[in-house]
Amino acid sequence: MKRTNLIVTAVLVAVLVVLPTFSSLINLYIDWLFFTETGYTGVFSKTMTTQIASGVFFGLLFLGFALVNLVIAKRITFPGKDYYTISGTPLTINLSYLRTIQQAVTFFILLIVTIMMGKWGASLWSEILLFGNAATVGFNDPVFGKDIGFYLFQYPLIESLKQFIDFSLILAIILVGITFFLGGGIQITQRQIMIDPRVNRHIGILIGLVIMNMGLGFYLESLRMLYSEHGVIFGASYTDV
């Protein structure tokens, strides 16, 4: 059994890590040859440094946020049950069995998502460089009074950060909810679903953060109107403002 688990783990690591890494290294080598031949190795170095730093930052940031929430959820104990039988159906949920595989499944989910978030973060290298080298244009938009440079250099990264926060919060709510359910904090009865107040508080905080982030999204959408497309017309029309 242990040998089978090791084989499965090795195959998953090869598929999820080794193969994508090998493909990325080939593309990296091709880019290096191009920039070396054209004499712009400094541009290549700057791009690579930003990609690596951004990928590591966003990957670890997501992993840290998810682990903090999971650790908090695991430390809260409940007088739970080992089985749930749904009334009127033959479905029986064996919680004790699910708890035995939860840690392994959670590990693989976090591994996969952390790698994905790292790759996504690395793809933001151009937005990060634009944000870090922002400049003013000297002309303000007529609606919000912001310098045009804000929309050119800063807005793209802020919008991407909003998406990152959305994804991290939603996945954290799902993982924490599953952890609380398996731990007995969320119990299913014949007539209702009982949720422990501590579970309500934890998940409620996360949902509150989601709502706050939605507010940021509405604000960003209002800014996006300034260069939205309306047929042959670009920008905010008279019905928008």
Cβ neighbours around 216 below 10 Å, total = 15
pLDDT of 94: 59
The alpha helices in 143-229, defined as continuous H runs, are 148-149, 155-183, 197-224
Residue 22: its H or E element? helix 19-38
Task: Spell out the domain ranges in the chain.
Answer: 57-234
Taking the C-alpha atoms of residue 126 and residue 106, their distance in angstroms, rounded to an integer, is 32
Q: Rounded to whole angstroms, what are the CA distances from 158 to 152, 172, 176, 181? A: 11, 21, 27, 35
Q: What is the CA radius of gyration of the chain?
A: 24
- How high is the pLDDT of residue 197? 85
Cα–Cα dist 181/106, whole Å: 14
The pLDDT value given to residue 84: 55
Q: What are residue 84's DSSP bridge partners?
A: 93
Q: How far apart are the first and last CA of the chain?
A: 65
Q: What is the pLDDT along the chain (241 residues), one digit of tens a residue?
A: 456 656 666 666 666 666 666 666 777 778 778 878 888 888 888 888 999 899 999 999 999 999 999 888 888 777 655 555 555 554 555 556 666 677 777 888 888 889 889 889 988 999 999 999 888 888 888 888 888 889 889 999 999 999 999 999 999 999 898 888 777 777 766 677 777 788 889 999 999 999 999 999 999 988 888 777 766 666 666 666 6
Q: What is the DSSP letter of 93?
A: E
Q: Which residues of 7-19 are buried (b: 16+ CB within 10 A; e: fewer)?
A: eeeeeeeeeeeee
**Phi and psi based region of residue 96 (left: phi greater than 0; alpha: psi -120 to 50; beta: remaining):** alpha
